[in-house]
Amino acid sequence: MSNTMRRIGYAWMGVVLLTACGGGRLLKNEQTRERVATHLAERAAWLPELPADLDARERDGMEFLYAYMPVGDAADYAPELYLSNVRASLRAADEMPWGGTVPDELFLHYVLPVRINNENLDTSRSVFYEELKDRVRGLTMEEAILEVNHWCHEKVIYTPSDGRTMSPSAAVRNAQGRCGEESTFTVAALRAVGIPARQVYTPRWAHTDDNHAWVEAWADGKWYYFGACEPEPVLDMGWFDGPSKRGMLMHTKVFGEYVGDEEVIGRTPLYTEINVTHNYAPVAQATVLVRDTAGAAVPGARVDFGIYNYAEFYPAVRKAADAEGRTFMTAGLGDMLVWATDGDRFGYGKLSFGKQDTLTITLNHRGGIGEAYAVAFDIVPPAEGRTENRVTPEQRAANDVRLAREDSIRNAYIAGWMSKRDVFALAGRIGADTTRVWEAIATSRGNWAEVAQFLTDAAAAGELDVAFELLDVVSTKDLRDTPAAVLTDHLNGAASYKDRPYFKEYILNPRVGTELLVPYRAAMAGEPAEIEAIVARAKGIELVDSLNPARIPISALGVQRLGRGDRAARDRFFIALARSKGIPARYEPITGRLQYYDLGATCGTEAWRNVDFDGELAAASAASAVPRGRLAVDYTPSKHNDDPKYYSHFTVGKLRNGRYETIELSDPDADMGAAGSLAAIFARPVELEEGDYRLVSGTRMADGTVLSEVRYFPIRAGELTTIDMTMREDDNSVQVIGTMNPESKFVPQGATEPVSILSTTGRGYFVLALLEAKKEPTNHALRDVAALKAELEEWGRGLVFLFPTDDQLAAFDASEFGDLPGTIVYGVDRGGEVSEMLARSLELTNRNDLPIFVVADTFGRVVFFSQGYRIGLGEQMMKVVRAL
């Protein structure tokens, strides 16, 4: 037995004996104690040593976290971080009035865990507790949940960003976050005061592109939902009420081996994934049978339940068939594309939940197809459900006052960031261009002091030009949560290689995937510098994919420290090590292959080399050695779509191990505005590796239905493959769907007297919108409208955008959305005349579910209607407008 094994193994054996003694422990359930002890024994070789001087409850808490943490959390974070959070959780349980009412299992799974999803971890819980404890003391649990969410709104508001999830403290420091960051932050805040909380996530909507995350919190025996950092006057209410009723899947991941009342979607050694869709929408269960061509069951077949979103069938859930080739799924009452494979053969079929109890899939396809063929699917999302307004006008008004006060608190904090005058003074001191310094500082938001320090240090070292290149190449989010010391490590470690090829993109750039940036360059000083040795070093990393089933990114430093990681972490370690030694390395943009640049290649030859760790020995070969063909796409512009966009209207996927995986395609010339369009991507044939591919295209109708076509085709080495692409359409898509009264009146901005909609828009068709300032659904809609500025102005018809109150209109800042059409008339629906008219005419169950968009004509005939959250609303509305 190694010293490490002996040190940790004895501690784990003591767990069972000590916790069996009973009182004053967290692990009170015997089965829980046994499971924790088993996991700890299995992990003894790589888990860190527990801190000294732990009391019994602290030890239980640390051991529970150690038993189920992913391998990267042991590699990237110190034990002291976990101990800080354990002690904060125990303090909340002791001091909060509801501490003794939270069941043990809920505390273990929904209060104690530091990790919520895939966020960067921190010790914010203690800080949050100090700020919140007096605000919630004396409140009921329900009242405390509402109060915590108001506090969260003081700190953070919604802003879209990339897929990396900042830590809760970074979100607070920057005063903003996307929905995944808002919900992670809010769950952390609730857990900080001892309230069980979990992040609920719809991986993809069915009726519109995009996804969303929100929060559920437990109070007195019941789970309640709400929008993170979006306080409503009551619980079980949020702007997503309507969209969630159309959801196909809503789920949450629970830390550890959780046993509850919810349906389990999947279990891993580290977390339990549960299905909570039934809390929001009507659901039905369906069985999938997987059979071979002889009709026999296929045990262990992998089954994907795909939701159409972003022009691909996203595998929202992946299951394995049982010994009888059977699995099941509970989902909303809409359509999914179900895909099954044994790793070689595959089959697929559309499953309509609520209409089909059973779907049989035959594995009658495999790679090596001959000629191209296409299959059409009409994918229908769940129908719109009824939403209720459970808030009185008085409650709404009082809540609006609170929100405005919280906005002012947050804005006062933001006003304390570095001013433009101070930025210009900094630029003068370091001898830098004022515009570049201002752009960097302004983008960095709450991290401005770190970026200012980094630029100051870089100027002192005479490397200001390289410093700006580094700030250019990292992501916007990196500027907002990366310490100066980390940036300086990468500057110092890379600057001497600035004359090498691909310096900025693939040497200087510290980012590989969505991992947290860490100072790995100096730590790599003792690592090998020759590429052959670097490949061998990475090859030697022990692969432990099963210890990271959620694929939480592990840093290169974590892999170096632990000598373990999943495949993605091993690859990132290789890239980081190569770049640290001045060797360009990357994932090839289209294929995703791991590559390095051969600095010694003969002039004129292919210098990028593929790296394959999966063979008997790590091997490198010229990228050109992989057989390739070319793909061209023929497309006849339709009346509704003259140039389809990647991830909006079409995607291309490659067959790997029985599944098609979407590949990244972009405009090779990268002209702003053209990137991602069919015309730009296929301006000339695209080179692809030999293999089997499919092109998915889809037209989303106003009701959310998608008219999809899936075209399968081969790419053969040295050959040009030309396929036809079709954007399916419905010639009967424009229909009168209701009526309204265009004589209804509103008060235009700057006016005192009301005027009618018709007198404002004139004869013909017009767009009417009811909006809610500073709310995520309205913000999404206005960004869509801004993207269509030119077309809407050319259309030339009236656009009337109304807010419910004068205060709402005053809070609206059009500059936040780019360049909105100049044909918009803004106003106030004072007294709710327009809102009441629409609710009555269109039979709306909740007129407060905003935004509402209507396209109608002089006679009040409505041809388009949208309510609530809908990504791509502008384009769907324009399809109707173009067809008028």
What angle, 0 to 180 degrees and rounded to 10, lies between the N-to-C axes of helices 567-580 and 484-494? 60
The reported pLDDT for the residue numbered 757 is: 94
Spatial CB neighbours of 842, under 8 Å, sequence gap ≥ 6: 738, 740, 854, 862, 865
Residue from 125, 149, 280 nearest 219 by CA: 149
Token pair 């909340």 is found at 92
pLDDT at 547: 95
Both tokens assigned to 136? 């919630």
Question: What pLDDT is recorded for position 9?
Answer: 37
What is the C-alpha separation between 247 and 202, in angstroms, rounded?
7
Return the pLDDT at 550.
94
The whole-number pLDDT of residue 735 equals 64
Q: What is the mean pLDDT of each run of 10 residues along the chain (884 residues)?
A: 34 34 74 95 94 94 97 96 97 95 96 96 96 96 98 94 94 96 98 98 91 96 96 94 93 95 94 97 98 98 97 96 98 98 96 98 90 94 85 92 95 97 97 97 97 98 98 97 98 97 97 94 97 96 95 96 96 98 95 92 79 68 80 88 88 96 78 65 94 94 89 96 92 70 92 89 90 91 92 92 94 90 94 91 84 89 86 84 80
Closest CA to 494 of 532, 465, 528, 514: 465
Beta strands 798-803 and 824-828, pairing class: parallel
List the beta bridge partners of residue 659: 656
Task: Report the pLDDT value the prediction gives residue 872, as an integer from 0 to 100.
Answer: 81
Residue-by-residue DSSP string for 755-807: EEHHHHH-SS-EEEEE--TT-HHHHHHHHHHHHTHHHHHHH--EEEEEESSHH
Phi first, then psi, for residue 50 (nearest 5°) are -70, 145
- How much is the pTM? 0.87
β-sheet bridge partners, residue 661: 654
d(CA 640, CA 766): 19
Residues near 568 by beta carbon (within 8 Å), at least 6 away in sequence: 513, 551, 553, 554
Contact 719, 629 (CB under 8 A): yes
Note the pLDDT of residue 5: 32
Element (H, E) at 337: strand 335-341
Q: Residue 818: what pLDDT?
A: 85
Positive/negative CA dihedral, 115, 121, 126, 128: negative
- In angstroms, the CA 431 to CA 456 distance is 10
243: helix, strand or coil: helix
